[in-house]
Amino acid sequence: MSSSSSRYKWRGSTRKVVSAPIERLWAVASDYCNLHQWIPALHVCRWIAGDHPRAPGSVRYVEGSSTGCDGRKSWAKEKLLTMDESSHTISYALIESNLGMEDYVATMRVLGGPDGHNTVEWSFELSPMEGASQEKVIGRLTSVLFTYIGYLEAAARSY
C-alpha cells in the first residue's frame, strides 16, 4: 500500500437481501482463494503467500477477464486482513494490481435475517484516483460488488 493511507478516502457500499442459508453463504464467501469458482469474470484465484489460505496475512492472486490500466488482463494481489467466523466478516486489502487503485480496503459481511433471508453487505474505501470521477468510480465498484453478491447467493444455493 502507498503512504497515502492517511489522506481523504472515497467510500462506498452495497447490500442485498438474499435467499440462501447463512451457513452456505459463509462457506462460499470464506473460501478466500476460490473466488473464481463463483465469480464468472475471474479466471484465476490462488493462494500465493501466508501461513494458511484463511489466515490473516495470507495473499491471493486474482486474474480477471477485464482489462487493466496497462492494457493487459486485470490482476490483483489481495491481503486478507481479518476473517471472523463469529460475525461472518472478511476484510482484505489490495496490495498490488494493474487496476489503477491505491489503498483499496474492502469488508464483506453476512448478516443473519428471518426465514432464511440474510443480508450480504460489501463496503470499501480507496484513495482518490487522479483524473477520475469519484461518482463514476464509486458507482462502478458498487455495481460490481452488488453483482458479486448475486453470484455469491447463486453459489450458496447450489452449495
pLDDT in tens, 47-96: 999 999 999 999 999 999 999 999 999 999 999 999 999 999 999 999 99
What average pLDDT does range 113-125 have in this prediction? Answer: 94
Sole residue written with cell 486485470: 74
List pLDDT tens digits, range 127-151: 999 999 999 999 999 999 999 999 9
Give me the sheet containing 59-67, strands edge to edge: 10-19, 117-126, 105-111, 89-97, 73-84, 59-67, 42-49
CA distance 38 to 113: 23
Query: To the nearest whole number, what is the mean pLDDT of the chain?
Result: 94
pLDDT on residue 6: 57
- pLDDT surpassing 70 at residue 3: no
Per-residue pLDDT of 38-50, as tens digits, reads 999 999 999 999 9
pLDDT of residue 94: 98
Nearest CA to 156 among 65, 31, 70?
A: 31
Domains (ranges, CATH) in the chain? 13-157 (3.30.530.20)
CB 1: neighbour CB atoms within 10 A? 14
Least Cα distance to 11 among 129, 147, 123 occurs for 123
> Is residue 39 classed as helix, strand or coil in its secondary structure?
coil
* pLDDT number for residue 1: 46
pLDDT of residue 116: 83
